[in-house]
Amino acid sequence: MKSRDRLRIAMQKSGRLTEPAQDLLARCGLKFRQSRDKLFCFGEGEPVDLLLVRDDDIPGLIAEGVCDLGIVGRNVLREFQLTNGTGSELSELRPLGFGHCRLSIALPQEDAYSEPSQLHGQRIATSYPGLLGEWLRAHGVDARVVMLAGSVEIAPRLGTADAICDLVSSGATLVANQLREAAVVVESEAVLAGRAELPLDERGEIAELLLRRLDGVIQVRD
């Protein structure tokens, strides 16, 4: 791969993390000019560019070296770490204090829930097989994981699953689908992801500068 001298940060193109992530970078003193395709933003002051992508693609882009840092949900990062061979190269560099949500197991409203063992033998639909699998093993539950890329909440009504494991923020989607939250699998928020070791070149220096500014911004806000 061609070496780059500019730092590249990936973030969600459009979604709940987009605006707060842009705000945060602005407060770190970064200014960007959007390209015509709106997928790449050129940094005007510091040598830092922005890549606007699907959130689920961010850990892979960092692992492949396409970008250096990413602003992504902890849930997406940890799922990648659990399900990809290159995942161990990545780490959560900073929690960012926005985009709070949780990855939870939810059941149809009419099903009472008291303990994990109840899920034994059940089919659980999720887009997070790694995180759900880890929780099931930790609780000694033998359940069947049904993989769905989206609209997971509809699975129980369709009869393709008995329960789900998906993100809950306001809880509105659960209510709309007559589901109730039963157990929290992961507490999530937006995080800064990157390789565990920063590059030892110019990019590494820019990344370090950015981390220092970020720590200042986060401290002021707390």
Which one of residues 167, 185, 191, 193 is an interface residue with ligand PRP (CB under 6 A)?
167
Which one of residues 9, 128, 166, 192 is an interface residue with ligand PRP (CB under 6 A)?
166
166 binds Zn ion (CB under 5 A): no
153 binds Zn ion (CB under 5 A): no
Q: Which does 162 bind (CB under 5 to 8 A by kind): Zn ion, ligand PRP, none?
A: none
Site for ligand PRP in 78-117 (CB under 6 A): none
Q: Which does 89 bind (CB under 5 to 8 A by kind): ligand PRP, Zn ion, none?
A: none
Report in angstroms how near the CB of residue 103 gets to ligand PRP at its nearest: 9
Q: Give one word for 24, left, alpha or beta, with left for phi > 0 and alpha for psi -120 to 50.
A: alpha
122 binds ligand PRP (CB under 6 A): no
Q: How far apart are CA 59 and CA 80, in angstroms?
A: 7
Which one of residues 21, 22, 55, 177 is an interface residue with Zn ion (CB under 5 A)?
55
Report in angstroms how near the CB of residue 139 gets to ligand PRP at its nearest: 22
Quickly count: other Cβ atoms within 10 Å of residue 164's Cβ. 27
Q: How far apart are CA 145 and CA 126, in angstroms?
A: 7
Q: Which does 169 bind (CB under 5 to 8 A by kind): ligand PRP, Zn ion, none?
A: ligand PRP
3 binds ligand PRP (CB under 6 A): no
Note the residues at the interface with ligand PRP (CB under 6 A): 15-16, 150, 153, 166-173
Note the residues at the interface with Zn ion (CB under 5 A): 55-56
